[in-house]
Amino acid sequence: MGKVAFLSGITGQDGSFLSELLLKKGYEVHGIIRRASTPNDNRISHLKNLHLHYSDLSEGASLVDLLYGIAPDEIYSLGAQSHVRVSFDVPEYTADITGLGTLRLLEAIRKSGIKAKFYQAGSSEQFGSSLPPQNESTPFKPESPYAVAKIFSYHMVHVYRKAYGIFGSNGICFNHESARRGDNFVTRKITKAAARIKFGLQDKLYLGNIDAKRDWGYAGDYVQAMWMMLQHSEPDDFIIATGEMHSVREFLELSFDKVGLDPYKYVEFDDNLKRASEVPALQGDYSKINRVLGWKPETTFKGLVDLMMEHDMGLAAKEANILKNNDIL
């Protein structure tokens, strides 16, 4: 009989990729979803045999009941309010879901008495203003409510690991993208705009700070690292990154170059899109996870942009064709 996994954030980018991976490995996969008036499971609707349960990271008692009934072998804590700039608009909600949500899962493990391995999705934003490159020993210097909430989660994993013997590991993920990334994240915003402008569906792209530098990888690669962490004999903390740093400007230019357009003819800058406190540069040193677990990223920066652009060009082409057939374009 295969292993049983439980995911929060199963409908998100990482949750969908991880669900695919686990199903291929023969897992029974469970996840929590929030009740909504409109479907919010488009990233996982193509997957069969998922077990979805209505619950929420704000509902501690519900999580205890679920974990006791499911008795998973592995738990992946991926759910969060994960948009950094938005965390300045809703800091209390971010702290509750991104921070306390992790604590509620850890408490649910403790109270239910199950023996499950626990993965907590950390973020490079925890390092904030610390100079790159950042590794597992780099001090946290958070610059957003989101980063502070993630640091809380990181330390609570350590507390429950030591106090209760829970197998809890932190994966500090640097930026990881895909065609499943939400439209409000800058990478997907850029690739969708480049494609839609090419097809005459959009005139402008509004951006904030394009000089910020990030370590961008492919989400499909990163979920493999998450799984590998829970197959390890001991709980530990690992950086998941590519070791390369590229600016938003580079991502922008590479995306528009893919469709033969000059981005600066279409981009306008909006200060409202800038963060209240900027993080200038993040670059991860993944040498520990490579040495201990043998993981390394497979997708290059250009390969990532190509994947996203090819997908969004396909979407734009379909949209343009529909409008043309309806005599709107």
Positions marked catalytic: 123, 125, 146
In DSSP terms, 177 is beta-bridged to: 218
- What sign results for the dihedral spanned by CA atoms 213, 218, 219, 224? negative
Burial of residue 60 (CB within 10 Å: 0-12, 13-18, 19+) is middle
Q: What is the DSSP letter of 42?
A: T
- What sign results for the dihedral spanned by CA atoms 135, 233, 63, 8? positive
The bridge status of strand 4-8 relative to strand 74-77 is parallel
Query: CA 117 to CA 108: how far, in whole Å?
Result: 13
Query: CA 74 to CA 116: how far, in whole Å?
Result: 5
Query: CA 217 to CA 246: how far, in whole Å?
Result: 11
Find out whether the peptide bond into 133 is cis, omega within 30 degrees of 0: yes
Query: CA 303 to CA 18: how far, in whole Å?
Result: 20
Q: Roughly what angle, to the nearest 10 degrees, separates helices 186-198 and 301-325?
A: 50
Element containing residue 67 per DSSP (H, E): helix 60-70
**Residue 63 structure tokens:** 């999580």
Task: Name the nearest CA neighbour of 125 among 104, 101, 153, 100.
Answer: 153
Max Cα-Cα span within the chain = 66
In DSSP terms, 246 is beta-bridged to: 214
28: helix, strand or coil: strand
240: helix, strand or coil: strand
